[in-house]
Amino acid sequence: MSLAVTSVFEMANEQTGTTEYKISLVSEHGGLVATSLGYELQTAAFKRRTFDTLIVAGNTDGAPASAGLLSYLRGADSRTRRIASICTGAFILAEAGLLDGRRATTHWLFARTLQQKYPKIEVDADRIFVVDGPIWTSAGMSAGVDLALALVEKDLGAETARMAARKLVVYHRRAGGQSQYSALLDLDAKSDRVQTALAYARENLGAELSVRELARAAHLSPRQFSRLFREETGQSPAKAIERLRIEAARLMMESGRFSVEEVARENGFGNRERMRRSFVRAFGQPPAALQRAAGVPRVSTANH
């Protein structure tokens, strides 16, 4: 999954009609490297090669980096324009000392471990990706695509990145952080039908999302759906949908790009007062207070 980032650079080359990016897959010794699924990839040895951009892939087994890789990364810090990590690749950058005194992120499931193991890092567990100087870190592996699109935008402009995203059928700029996705996992739905209903809800937060509508998405009767949903998640459908809406709204508010009215409308609250009441129930304070605490300037709307 980490290799999905290479498609972003490929699409950028297609869009510009020139070879803006030359991609090399490298490892300590070169040769065939087995993936977590068992198939092998051909790589070149990195030795002391110099690159404009280095991207360190994550792994699924938590294995520590080799001494050779760590030595290479420490040396590359001074001769490479930027270094990035995907998912748990942040642990490798941390082990090399490249994240000391910097902000970084990683997959939400491992963020607390990263913070505890490397206290010199300011871990932001709710970001799709984080940029701190020449160091870029992404959340989960799919977030590596978001990071790669941001790299392309910085290099070649927003239009090239937008067209690359369009060809890949992904968001150019994904709104919000990763908690909106971890929230679905926290609900711990086991059956395909409830998972389908939750995925439908996540994609349609601005809609009414009644029990009847969710049951239709799950291909169940409303009574069957309500019973199964509560059995699997321990919550009523209404409570779970409110939670998804609150998290998505909070992330939009913290981005500083939307007015309260826009956030309320996009996330299905109907009006700012209903959203305010939901925020007070969930956080003990209204949306504006959370915005101020995050240091985000308020966005207002005006008629022209």
**Catalytic positions, please?**
87
**Residue carrying the six token digits 């000391």:** 100
